[in-house]
Amino acid sequence: MSKIKENRIFQLISTLNKAEKRHFQLFAKRNQQESSLLFLQVFDVYSKYGMVADTLLLEKIPSIKPSQLSNIRNNLYRQLLASLRLQHQKTNADIAIRQEIDFAKVLYNKGLYRQALQLLNKAKALAQQQNSNILALEILFFEKAIESQNITKSIGNRAADLIQESEFIYSKLKDTLHYSNLDLELYAYYLKNGFCKSDQEVERFDGLFLKKLNDVSISTEDFYPQLYSFQCLCWYNYIKQDVEQYYSTAKQWVQLFQDFPEMATERPTIYLKGIHNCISGAFMNTDHQGYRQYFDLLKHFPKSHPKKLTWNEQGVYDLYYNMHEIDLHFDNGRFDEYLSKRQSLEILIETNPYHWDAHRIAVFRYKLACLFIGVRAYKNAIDEFNEIRQLYRPGSKSMVLRFVRILSAFCHLEMGNMRLVNSTVQTLKKDLANSKSRHEPLEKLLVRLLDRFTRIGEWDKKQEIQATLVQVNALQKDPYAQVAFLHFFAEEWLSSLLFNKDAQDVIAEKAAASH
């Protein structure tokens, strides 16, 4: 069996909690003796020892022949999925609805048409209650297929109702499809082009997307069309670097879930993403009160959520919570407070139980590195930067990686590693000279300062810092340079160099003055 298939089984097993493992044991033994279930024995070995080599697995279970392993693992994988499906149907409306549709199909195949229609009617009511319009439309097609065969002799009474219901659901789906497609288009544009950096780029961007955003008028009674429209508007304003409108739309996104509280229960990951956007929007707009309001909403979400979070939902929650807990300390200047308790995040990064991709891990390490810079722990910052470099492929154009190269050079400068700094500066200057690059103006200012630092004395350094600080303050007013300042607290850091104090203290003083 391929390593990929073997790994998928182990990944699935590693996500199971105690209740799910216990349920699987009972599910597997429901019709047979445990001793005859080879796939269950494989499950026990993986649960106890992890993803072991085939030789050890065969040693632990002598009754398995090497030629049987592939089929046994496939069987184990499907049995695990069947057990989880059964266990989660009570807490996942979509699974429960699909089960009713499956049962109706069984009854239909047995010729029990009225019973099938009764189950479909029950499933349709649940689908409409959960705003699951795709499933509702699937059920309507099934109902029409039964009625159109003139089996039940009731089509005369039902035809008008089924037609009206179908048209109503279709109109909802049409709007949802429009905005869900547009959401993907915007994301694809961002991956290819990044943020708009001039009026001309905004004009071209609006030419591509503005009409599509305004093409559909949405009823405030329909959840999903509103949700997808808010998602689109968040992307649209984020790409334009219109931070005020981005924040405003994110708040509408969260309010939508508060207007439809049952959907916060059924779609918690999308609700969490809305809260995440609100916190990010508050951070971008330096809305300290709003940041704490939405961070508190995020912090208390697991306790307020009526259902136990699934593994995926817990992973999304942990991602956003840890990200914004760090940002909270960037906001209030208490860097050392977070660094003293960072061990839980470091364990999460090392074990990566939720299979976060390399970029997410890099962002966490980058944030930790910036915290270290803020307390002048440059060696620790460099260690984090070195870890980040290993996460990206050679030639990557990630903004995070670009800032890593610049800031690690400043760290080495502070530590007196001049030979390394000089070689890095030459590489950075060459990269900035590339006419095809899309470097942020802030990056260019920092590289220019770094270059000057390698060639001047201590007294001149203060003059260079002051001059750069003036340019940074001016740059902060540029609407197309906002995103770069989310990657580094440049103004406060330069001030800390100027006055020989920790950047965290500069930020703390600034935060105290703003309250």
**Which CATH architecture group holds 333-515?**
Alpha Horseshoe (1.25)
Mean pLDDT for 3-32 is 84
- Per residue in 340-368, pLDDT (tens digit) is 999 999 999 999 999 899 999 999 999 99
- Per residue in 211-240, pLDDT (tens digit) is 999 877 777 778 898 999 999 999 999 999
Neighbours of 56 (CB within 10 A): 11
pLDDT-wise least confident of 210-214, 299-303, 383-387: 210-214
Mean pLDDT for 73-90 is 92
Percent of the chain's residues with pLDDT above 90: 61
Q: What is the pLDDT of residue 151?
A: 54
Burial 309-337 (b: 16+ CB within 10 A, else e): bbeebbbbbbbbbbbbbbbbbbbbbbbee
Q: Enter the pTM of the model.
A: 0.86
Residue 227 to residue 214: CA distance in whole angstroms: 15
Mean pLDDT for 119-131 is 92
First to last CA, the chain: 61
Q: Say how far residue 195 (Cα) sits from the centre of its chain.
A: 19
Q: Which tokens is 459 given?
A: 């007294």
DSSP letters for 53-96: -HHHHHHH-TT--GGGHHHHHHHHHHHHHHHHHHHHTTT-HHHH
pLDDT-wise least confident of 12-16, 105-109, 250-254, 458-462: 458-462
Q: What is the pLDDT of residue 33?
A: 62
Inform me whether the pLDDT recorded for 1 exceeds 50.
no
How high is the mean pLDDT of the chain? 90
Q: Which tokens is 253 given?
A: 């996104």
* pLDDT grade for 438, boundaries at 50, 70 and 90: low
**Amino acid (one-letter) located at 88:** H
In terms of average pLDDT, the best of 120-124, 162-166, 216-220 is 120-124
Inform me whether the pLDDT recorded for 122 exceeds 50.
yes
Which residues lie closer than 8 Å to 140 by C-beta, 6 or more apart?
124, 162, 165, 166, 169
User: Is there a contact between 394 and 430 (Cβ–Cβ < 8 Å)?
Assistant: no
User: Is there a contact between 215 and 179 (Cβ–Cβ < 8 Å)?
Assistant: no
- Residue intervals in the chain for CATH 1.25.40: 333-515
Mean pLDDT for 484-503 is 92
Phi-psi region of 447 (alpha: psi -120 to 50; beta: other; left: phi over 0): alpha
Q: Is 371 exposed, middle or buried (0-12, 13-18, 19+ CB in 10 A)?
A: buried
DSSP letters for 154-210: -HHHHHHHHHHHHHHHHHHHHHHHHHHHHHHHHHHHHHHH-S--SHHHHHHHHHHHH
User: Is there a contact between 269 and 316 (Cβ–Cβ < 8 Å)?
Assistant: yes
**Amino acid (one-letter) located at 343:** Q
Whole-angstrom CA distances from 382 to 246, 385, 388 are: 34, 5, 10
